[in-house]
Amino acid sequence: MPTQIANQDPKDRLIVALDFPTARQALALVDALGDTCRWFKVGMELYYATGNPFIHELRHRGFNIFLDLKLHDIPNTIAGAVNSATKAGASLLTVHASGGAAMMTAAAEAARTPCSPRLLAVTVLTSMDANELAGVGIAAQPADQVLRLAKLAKASGIDGMVASAEEVAQLRSELGPEALLVIPGIRPAGSATGDQKRIATPKAAIAAGASMLVVGRPITQATNPAAAAQSILDEIAAGVATQPGSEKTRT
């Protein structure tokens, strides 16, 4: 399946998070969503339970995969992990920017092989605020830390960033129109925030410059997941309509 982002097509901007412990539960949601979604995020919980066979199943069904493993290790190990993700068939893969320049450079070099996933650097988790950062010895405000790590990631050859919607406008301004900005912590108006602290509505995040949105519980815990996804697609379309121009990103 092509992995080019069609800038004006909301379905190419929505990634549904399959945050489930089993393949059966995840595939039940995939079936319930029908043709409303083209991208799915597979994170640590599901991947560690199901491995590459589940990725292969989703690819066989024609979907694109965001493998969100937040890799963080020594450079040689990370390079090997990128090679493994390439064999799995992932289109996007995350590494932690806090792993440093050498680690991210090794990942970027490993991702130069054909069919490798595009790499996204996780900056500051959307569950963290200034108090959480201070607790791990980082005195900077989240927005400042996000920008610092994003610039380091870009200089290391990483394709895009994962950050909250609070930082997306600044990242778009600093990193330019080609940067792939994938934004979690998305909550439609009136929905519960859960454990997320830096959030935004789909429309606001897209209007601020997000390339793609990762949405979990507002869809996966909805009574009618397909209707919930369609509502978010409508919000994405409204956000695209407010942008002064469309970014030419690819995945």
User: In whole angstroms, what is the distance from residue 208 CA to residue 167 CA?
Assistant: 9
pLDDT given for residue 7 in this prediction? 56
Q: Where are the alpha helices (DSSP H) in the chain?
A: 23-33, 44-50, 52-60, 75-88, 101-110, 130-135, 142-155, 165-175, 202-208, 217-220, 225-242
pLDDT given for residue 247 in this prediction? 45
The mean of the pLDDT values for the chain is 89
pLDDT tens figures, 66-100: 999 999 999 999 999 999 999 999 999 999 999 99
Q: Taking the CA atoms of the chain, what radius of gyration do you get in angstroms?
A: 17
Q: Which of 70, 87, 151, 203 is catalytic?
A: 70
pLDDT above 50 for 44: yes
User: In whole angstroms, what is the distance from residue 205 CA to residue 185 CA?
Assistant: 10
pLDDT given for residue 249 in this prediction? 41
pTM: 0.88
User: In whole angstroms, what is the distance from residue 64 CA to residue 41 CA?
Assistant: 9
pLDDT above 80 for 12: yes
Q: Under a CB-based contact definition with an 8 Å cutoff, are residues 39 and 120 in contact?
A: no
Determine whether domain 10-242 maps to CATH 3.20.20.70. yes
Query: How large is the average pLDDT for residues 162-188?
Result: 91
pLDDT band at 18 (very low <50, low <70, confident <90, very high): very high
Closest to 19 measured CA to CA, from 68, 57, 55: 68
- Is 151 among the catalytic positions? no
